[in-house]
Structure 1
């Protein structure tokens, strides 16, 4: 599972960088920090979700999706919006 997740993240990162080059958009340093933080939080959430499910703690797993996953998705959406607005401006 982790191999497939790593491949998926690599493909998404490659597509994102390809889109940035195609639209002649550059990201600021804080965009990279926000996006890497979001990806790290998302990976942490996925790992803890599956670990909690494997231990039979479904309520803890779903709460961790809410507590850890929602901020990760928000951070990734903020990065996407910053990049999209910068591309639209250029």
Structure 2
């Protein structure tokens, strides 16, 4: 599963880089930092969710989705909005 997830993340990263070059969009350094932090938190959440479900702790799994998954999605949404607003401004 992790191999396929790594391949998928690589394809998505390559697509973002190609899109940025094609549309002449400049991604700032903080876009990358916030995006990588959000992605790391999301991967951490997915791993711990499946581990908690495998151990039979469904309540802990759902709480972990709320505690770590929600901030990860918020960070990724912030990066998305920063890039979209920069594209619309240019």
TM-score bin (small chain):
over 0.9
Q: Which stretches in structure 1 are left out of the alignment for 5+ residues? A: none
Alignment of 1:23-62 (within 5 A): 23-62=23-62
Q: Which stretches in structure 2 are left out of the alignment for 5+ residues? A: none
CA distance in 2 between counterparts of 1:88 and 1:45 reads: 32
Aligned residues: 90
The answer on whether the counterparts of 1:50 and 1:61 sit within 8 Å (CA) in structure 2 is yes
Alignment of 1:1-90 (within 5 A): 1-90=1-90
Stretches of 4+ moved more than 3 A in 1? none
**Could you say which structure has the greater relative contact order, defined with CA pairs below 8 angstroms and 6 or more residues apart?**
1
Give TM-score, length-normalised by structure 2: 0.94
* RMSD of aligned alpha carbons: 0.9
Q: CA deviation at 1:84?
A: 1.1
